[in-house]
Amino acid sequence: MPRPECLSSAKSLWDCAGFADADKIPLSENLCQGEDDIGIYCWGPPSFTGWARHWKGLQILSSPFKFVPSDPDMVSVHRESFSRLEYVDILYAGYNAETKNTTSALWIEGVPPIMNGLRVERSARDGVYFYEPSGPILIANSTIINNR
C-alpha cells in the first residue's frame, strides 16, 4: 500500500484511487511500515519473537500547521499542527528493515501533531523521538513504557 492516493475529501480508504479495484490492492512485505499508509490497523498479539521482527513504526514529517496566539494579548504566536494522533497503540516497533538498524517507534520531524491517548511499548529503540521540533510538543493521557 505504498501509494493510497487519497484526497482530503475521502471518507474511507475505499474512496482513494489506490483502492479503486479491491482485487488489486498492492500489499508489501511490511504492511504497516509504509509512511503513506492511512487508516491501517495492525492488531492482535505479536506472533513473532525477538527484536529482528519488530516493524518500523510511524514517521510524521513536515505536518501542515497554522499560527495560533501564544498569549491572551496576541503579542506572540506559535505553530500548531493540523494533525492529531489520538488513541493509537504502537507496539513492538523500532526496526527499519531497509537500513537493518533500529529506529524510534514514533519519529516526528517539524511541527509535532497534538497527541492524546498514545500507547507506545516495547520498541527496539526510543519510544518517541522529536527531530528539530518547530512547535510545542503536546502529549496527554498517554503511556510510553518499556522501550529500548
State the pTM of this model: 0.65
Q: Provide the pLDDT for residue 29.
A: 47
C-alpha to C-alpha distance for 146 and 54, rounded to whole angstroms: 14
C-alpha to C-alpha distance for 136 and 112, rounded to whole angstroms: 7
Q: How sure is the predictor about 2, in pLDDT bands with cuts at 50, 70 and 90?
A: low
- Return the C-alpha cell found at 13: 480508504
CA angle 108, 88, 38 (to 5 degrees): 75
Q: Provide the pLDDT for residue 36.
A: 47
At residue 59, does pLDDT exceed 70?
Answer: yes
Centre a 10 Å sphere on the Cβ of residue 147 and count the other Cβ atoms it contains: 19
Please write the tens of the pLDDT for every residue from 68-126: 999 988 899 999 999 899 999 998 899 888 888 999 999 999 999 999 999 999 999 99
Please write the tens of the pLDDT for every residue from 16-55: 787 777 676 665 545 555 444 455 555 555 555 554 578 8
DSSP run (H or E) holding 96: strand 95-96
Centre a 10 Å sphere on the Cβ of residue 1 and count the other Cβ atoms it contains: 20
**Helices and strands, counts by H and E, the chain:** 0, 13
Q: Provide the pLDDT for residue 74.
A: 83
- Return the C-alpha cell found at 129: 523521538
Residue-wise over 60-82: b if at least 16 C-beta within 10 A, else e? beebebeeeeeeeeeeeeebbbe
Better-predicted residue by pLDDT, 9 or 70 = 70
C-alpha to C-alpha distance for 144 and 98, rounded to whole angstroms: 25
Q: How deeply is 55 buried, as exposed, middle or buried, from its count of CB atoms within 10 A (0-12, 13-18, 19+)?
A: buried
Average pLDDT of the residues in 123-130: 94
